[in-house]
Structure 1
Amino acid sequence: MGSIYRKTAIPGPNAQKLLARKVANVPKGPFTTIDTFVAKGEGALITDVDGNRFIDFAGAIGSLNVGHCPPRVVQELHRQIDKYLHPSYHVMMYEPYINLAEELNRITPGTHEKKSFFLNSGAEAVENAVKIARKYTGRKAIISFERGFHGRTYMAMSLTSKVKPYKYQFGPFVPEVYKWPYPYYFRSEFSTPEQLDNALLNRFETFFQSEIPPEEIAAVIMEPVQGEGGFVIPSQRFVKGVKSLCEEYGIVFIADEVQTGFGRTGKMFAVEHFDVIPDLMTMSKSIAAGIPISAVTGRAEIMDSANVGEIGGTYGGSPLGCTAALEVIKMIEDEGLLERANLIGKLFQERFEPLGNRFQEIGEVRWLGAMCALEFVQDSNTKAPNKELVQHIINRAHQNGLVLMTAGLYGNIIRLLAPLVITEDQLLEGFDVLEEAITVCCRA
């Protein structure tokens, strides 16, 4: 018997009652992926309020690399709850905050002296990384990338590329933010990745002449692999080229590891794939198994540029978040979850690359570790995005017990963020559901 159990249609009767209450009491702005409500989560499985059991390939948008309610983390949280909940680090300090700072300084790339501090969300980490970079350099301009996503607060939203639904009618935005192109080899007009890399890196030099001089740029912020943008993977040559420009002109290089961090790509942090050491890193999502916390880690001399009281927040680095994060790091190291991420990617490749050869609607199959995606197109010649097909596939998968999410500028990409603790049987069962949905919808 498989892990998926379907008792009712989705949404079931209990979920329908909750949906009615949600419509009456919650604004329509917060999006949801599937029209039901969780009753229990364990590992890579979710049971809803009607008794339907799903395999989770969304992982709370990449927040649950160690799964739902990992027993080790839950146990440590109970111990912490019995001591104190939140005295606020800014009132009276607590040891878990220092312990986590030491751990992040240890596991993040580079042997240089580092310092870390904590906030609540990925967007807050991005906001504060920008503040620190501006303070350190005395410059104002910030560079982000096309298709990048960095959050919904005003600086983070200004850095984000996708207009709808994130930016439309929410302006004006923060000034002195500029966008650079990010390589998308599947949609490139060049014959080879190297040619595209060369063209883009040359454009950045031209940008310094036509838009803003490098002496006025405080930081470049980059997702080592674009998340919301569609799991787009750059070459090592491109990332190293950007970092080289930053070094040449004294620009702070910020790696946004909010979605890519903590084992998702088969390394602790995705930037490690590219042989680049960032000056600052932003982290959140899977840092603490779903407990809200985020971090900025960076070179000590840069981090110390902010004076007392200039960075922080009342709930930043909560004891529960720090405690959970410390155990998550131990889990990743003790249970071989980096190797597990690479196995997931290998099994994904073996299953879906052949499927891509069968259906011209599958434009590209791409992955880095367990950060996996399928891009759907109208046909292989035009590569026009096929958002409608993706929605049909997603809906069918949901009805058959698999939780999936989309990504990409046009919503034509299915992204997979299964917990790294998923069993091989569960993973293959989920693949079966996804393959069936693709086969039926592509032939419809």
Structure 2
Amino acid sequence: MNIKINKLPGPKSLKYLEFLKKHNGGYSDPYPFVFSGEGKGCYFKDMDGNVFLDFASQIASNPLGYNHPNLVNVLRKYRNTPIKYAGQDFNVKEHAELLEELLKITPNGLDSAFFVNSGAEAVENCIKISIRNRKKSGFGVCFKNSFHGRTLGALSFVTSKEIYTKGYWSFPKKNLAYNENAGEELRDIIKKEGADKIGFVIMEAIQGEGGYNIANKRMVNEIRKITKQYGIPFIADEVQAGMGRTGKWWAIENFNVIPDVMSSAKALQVGVCISSKKMFPNEVGAISSTWGGGSIIDLALGAETIRVIKKNKLLDKNKENGKYLLKVLNEYDMKNARGLGLMCAFDLKDKQLRDNVVIECLKNGLVLLGCGVKGVRLIPPYIVSKKEIDKAISIIDKAINKCKHKKFKHTGLICDYLECASSHT
């Protein structure tokens, strides 16, 4: 497939977009197209025949691209069967099969997992199992510019943008700087409040929505040292960065650290809380989920995704292509180019220019996401080629040169969409 843009939004897409704007309670200025189901590799087609190159991967949820043959075969296998069961109470083999594949790739000692529906639920249950036996605890510890999900527990530890938390109740928390000062700040909290008061420390090894900020290695190791010393559960949030995107199965592995608890979702196709068996409650019913462990297509797709990543050596490919992507970004003199594997970003002068560039790239067939205040994410599927990387960066470069002029302004129906390209998490 090749990029082909006729009109954005096209008439067929516009019909659905207008309906969703009127009736969707979670309407969020979406991208101005509706998927047709057609696509191959890093390309997809919308209902109006527009063809896009995807460097957003459904917000890091589509690691193998569109209509990967192995995943299509999985879907065909289940076309004549029920697709959902109440999986924690009524067992299906797909639950055990994904669990088996997942636990082959988890860090040493993390030998159990609990499947749920989403990344937010995964984080929520990581929090629950961490605080359950810490009777004296009264607050959790997170980092500035963090994002951990939109359910109330997970949302309480989101510090990246006020709009995400405005008007909602919040659990007590304390924030740490996302730099080398974090360890000292955590020790100060312990000295003042006592280690028993801390329910957990939760961290993204690479902050996602908050700006694709990569943790300082010294900071990560110091935080882990302190949490071990005082027996404070350390949660690694791997919802966006995990499942191989950084060139290792888990982003935290880039820092030679093993957490007590870990969340995953997105690329795994289901949400999951991962830990040692001893961290999970013994009492029946203490945690559960109706569809967790019962959405058999998602479970089967997750297991096959792990197998494909292994078989095709995509971890090594992500490392290689990630280095190439950063090299090309630096050759084009993109500001603050950064990343691990295929989790990369760069910054523009300000938010207005960033948003204009994301929209201009879309008009030229390249799908991107913003992050932080003025950052642009580059998170293509793991099967991306160097040729596609070159094509994407060329489109971005032309968009920047066009949008940086003072009098530049988008016109037409596309102005009704993508008000803030960074609001997608």
Is contact 1:80-1:323 (8 Å) kept?
Answer: no
RMSD between aligned alpha carbons?
A: 1.7
Answer yes or no: is the 8 Å Cα contact 1:33–1:405 preserved in 2.
no
Match in the other structure for 1:389: 353
Aligned length: 403
In the alignment, what sits opposite 1:91?
A: 89
Write the mapping of 1:117-132 to structure 2, written as runs, cut at 5 A.
117-132=114-129
2:318 corresponding residue in structure 1: 341
TM superposition shift of 1:396: 0.9
Check whether the contact 1:372–1:415 (CA below 8 A) recurs between aligned residues: yes
**Partner Cα distance (1:364, 1:203) in 2:** 27
Q: Is 1:311 aligned with 2:287?
A: yes
1:230-249 matches, within 5 Å, as 230-249=211-230
Question: Gaps spanning 5+ residues in structure 2: where?
Answer: 407-425
Shift of 1:49: 1.4
The letter for the 2-side match of 1:37 is V
- What's the CA shift string for 1:385-415, capped at 9, x where partnerless? x00110111111010000011010x2x1000
Work out whether residues 335 and 346 of structure 2, in 8 Å CA contact, stay in contact via their aligned partners in 1.
yes
> 1:369 maps to which residue?
341
Residue from 167, 170, 184 that aligns with 1:202:
184
Q: Is 2:102–2:306's contact at 8 Å kept on the other side of the alignment? A: no
Match of 1:323 in 2: 300
Q: Give deviations 1:208-256, integer Å, cap 9, x for gaps.
A: 234x321111211111100001110012211111111100110111111
CA contact (8 A) 1:376 1:390 kept: yes
Trace 1:136-151 onto structure 2 (pairs within 5 A): 136-138=133-135, 139-151=137-149
Q: Does residue 25 of structure 1 match 2:43?
A: no
1:274 partnered with 2:255: yes
Structure-1 separation of matches of 2:258 and 2:18: 49
Helix, strand or coil at the partner of 2:212: coil
Cα deviation, residue 166, structure 1: 0.7
- Residue of structure 2 aligned with 1:437, choices 390, 393, 399: 399
Query: Counterparts of 1:252 and 1:82 in 2: how far apart (Å)?
Result: 44
Aligned to 1:219, what secondary structure does the other structure show?
strand
Q: Report the counterpart of residue 404 of structure 1 in structure 2.
A: 368
CA distance in 2 between partners of 1:215 and 1:41 (Å): 52
What secondary structure, in the 3-state scheme, does the structure 2 residue paired with 1:159 have? coil
* Residue in 1 that maps onto 2:54: 56
Alignment of 1:414 with 2:376, yes or no, is yes
Q: CA deviation at 1:80?
A: 3.4
Aligned to 1:383: none
CA contact (8 A) 2:88 2:291 kept: no
Pairing partner for 1:299 from 269, 272, 276? 276
Provide TM-score, normalisation by structure 2. 0.90
What per-residue deviation string (whole Å, max 9, x for no partner) do you get for residues 17-70 of structure 1? 32222223223x432442111112332112111111000011111001111232
Identity, in percent, stands at 31
Contact 2:70–2:304 (8 Å) recurs in 1: yes
Scaled by the length of structure 1, what TM-score is found?
A: 0.87
Q: Measured at CA, do residues 64 and 133 of structure 1 come closer, stay the same or move farther in structure 2, by a change above 3 Å?
A: same
| Alpha-carbon contact 2:344-2:377 (below 8 Å) kept | yes
Q: Deviations over 1:343-376 (max 9, x none)?
A: 22122122111322xxxxx541111110010112
SS at match of 2:89: coil
Unpaired runs of at least 5, structure 1 = 184-196, 357-361, 378-385
Contact 1:134 1:140 in 2 (8 A): no
- Is the 1:236–1:275 Cα contact (8 Å) retained in structure 2? no
Q: Quick check: 1:109 aligned with 2:107?
A: yes
Question: Which string of whole-angstrom CA distances, capped at 9 and with x for unpartnered residues, describes residues 156-207 of structure 1?
Answer: 11111123321122x2212x32221112xxxxxxxxxxxxx1x332222112
Alignment partner of 1:147: what SS?
Answer: coil
Task: Give the secondary structure class of the aligned counterpart of 2:254.
Answer: helix
CA distance in 2, matches of 1:135, 1:44: 43
Instruction: Specify which of 128, 133, 154 is matched with residue 130 of structure 2.
Output: 133
Q: What whole-Å deviation, never above 9, does each CA across 1:96-133 have from its counterpart, x for those lacking one? A: 211222222220111x2611110000000111111101
1:166 to 147, 164, 167: 164
